[in-house]
Amino acid sequence: MCKNFGNKWLRWALINLVLVALYGTLMRYKIAFNFPYLEQKNLLHAHSHFAFAGWISHVLYTGLAIIIGSVISEQKIKKYNLLILANLLCAFGMLISFTMLGYKAISIVFSTSSIVVAILFCISFIKDAKSMSSTHPSKCWAITGLLLNILSSAGPFFLAYMLMSKNINSQSYLGSVYYYLHFQYSGWFFFGAMAIAASMLPATILLKKYFWGFTITVIPTLFLSLLWAKLPGWLYVVTVSAAIVQLITWVMLLIKTIPVVKNLQPGYPKWINVFFYAAAFALTLKFLLQAISVVPSLSQLVFGIRSIVIAYLHLILLGVYSLFIIGYAFAKGSLKISKFACIAAFIFLCGVFLNELLLGIQGFAAFFYIPVSHINEMLFAIAVMLLLGSVLLASSQIKRKLD
């Protein structure tokens, strides 16, 4: 039952990926061409909330449910099925309400409900995790990730308060956004993905010994995105140290892990490992860019250029987690492996690479106030490529019979 349960939700995730890509394409079209219908800001809120809840979090919840499902009864697994369904309902509620209305009462209700689901999932998992061995490779990563997911909710709550009260301070607004993004990207998403990765790797690779290096630095690295707030000297030193510790810990983990992984004989085609390697490379860039951003003047300049911020966020959302998820779903056998599916997945992978390349060129050119001809049209074409890849990937699974 646990296998079938996971397969169902991982295949459903592909539909959500198509919707995420569709909204990204629509926003790029509105920038490049004239499309007066639907407000861009509303589309952005719908796109980001659904990408987080309906795509990344949906898969992480499913992956963690599969992990805990191996040590609990089938009866208990049913509650995770309900929680994942509840999260999906909240995600689609946010997608529709943010698209049509923006930040209004109904969209805040759905957003708040998704936080309630996160709390219930966390409580259920921690309770059931007592059945897991203390040495289980995923246990510490999963629990920490779920707790950080709840911690991140303070950002949207404060943001909603400011919007509803119409008492908006620009620094508080930015601070709330960056707070939420940090504890999602570097907290919940990272630790959740590491929990899933730990469950897939051989027992000889002890990811747990790297756990504390990331855990003790997850809060201090929040201030990397707040350097513009003129931090006190001691806090700046702590932030710089945390960024360096994370980079060193990640490099050490790669040095230990990659040789072992290369010698493995997985029960799936080796082309799937390309997605894991690409995700690891993107994550390496993320930690490296974090370390470089400790220079306050550079940080202020970078966060002032929208295309660079977007490139960084998509590097993590698409380059790290989306590629990891696609590789994970294939490796678990939840997605049918075929030539058609392989081509579709690599179209999406190429779209991710080209999207980062063009955003990087746009951001670099902005440093020197150099306009890039037809950049918006090119970014729209890449968005279409990502949409095509996701549609083809979802289509490749249609003929598969439900398990």
Instruction: Rank 127-141, 204-218, 355-369, 377-391 by mean pLDDT and report only the highest.
Output: 377-391
343-358: burial string, b at 16+ Cβ within 10 Å, e else: ebbebbbebbbbbbeb
Whole-angstrom Cα distance, residue 396 to residue 384? 18
Distance CA 140, CA 64 (A): 12
Helix 2-32 to helix 74-101 angle (10° resolution) is 10
- Residue predicted with more confidence, 136 or 159: 136
In a domain, 287, yes or no: yes
Examine residue 275 and state whether it is found in any structural domain, yes or no: yes
Note every long-range contact of 67-71, with CB atoms under 8 Å and residues 24 or more positions apart, other chains counting.
67/138, 67/142, 67/195, 67/196, 67/199, 68/125, 68/128, 68/129, 68/132, 68/142, 69/2, 69/5, 69/6, 70/2, 71/128, 71/131, 71/132
Contacts of 4 (CB under 8 A, 6+ apart): 403
Alpha carbon of 398 to those of 15, 209, 401: distances in Å?
11, 41, 8
Q: Which of 250, 321, 231, 327 is nearest to 289 (CA)?
A: 250
Going from the C-alpha of 172 to that of each of 159, 165, 301, the distances in angstroms are 8, 14, 19
Backbone dihedral region for residue 103 (phi beyond 0: left; psi -120 to 50: alpha; all else: beta) = beta
Q: At what angle do helices 306-314 and 296-303 cross, to 10 degrees?
A: 90
Cα of first residue to Cα of last residue in the chain, in angstroms, is 9
Total count of domains within the chain: 1
Q: What is the mean pLDDT of residues 185-196?
A: 96
Please state, rounded to an integer, the average pLDDT across all residues of the chain: 89
> What pLDDT score was predicted for residue 100?
93
Residue with tokens 């990087």: 360
Q: Which residue has the tokens 């250029």?
A: 305
Span 15-34, pLDDT tens digits:
999 999 999 999 999 998 87
Lowest mean per-residue pLDDT among 47-51, 137-141, 211-215, 303-307: 303-307
Q: What is the pLDDT of residue 169?
A: 75
Rounded CA gap, 184 and 118, in Å?
12
Q: Are 308 and 366 in contact (CB under 8 A)?
A: yes
Q: Which domain holds residue 353?
A: 264-403
Whether 147 is in a domain gets the answer no
Maximum CA extent, the chain: 61
Residue 310 CA to residue 125 CA, distance in Å, equals 33
In angstroms, the CA 105 to CA 368 distance is: 43
Whether 268 is in a domain gets the answer yes
Task: Specify the 3-state DSSP secondary structure of 272.
Answer: helix
Instruction: Please report the pLDDT score of residue 2 as a whole number.
Output: 54
Choose between 190 and 299: higher pLDDT.
Answer: 190
Mean predicted confidence (pLDDT) in 282-287: 95
**Whole-number pLDDT of residue 401:** 45
Note the pLDDT of residue 403.
Answer: 41
pLDDT tier, 402 (very low <50, low <70, confident <90, very high otherwise): very low
Nearest to 400 by CA among 8, 62, 19: 8
Asked if residue 273 belongs to a domain, the reply is yes
Residue 257 included in any domain: no
Give the Å distances, CA to CA, from 267 to 264, 270, 335. 9, 9, 14
Find out whether 2 and 61 touch, Cβ atoms under 8 Å.
no
Is residue 167 assigned to a domain?
no
Q: Confirm whether 139 is domain-assigned.
A: no
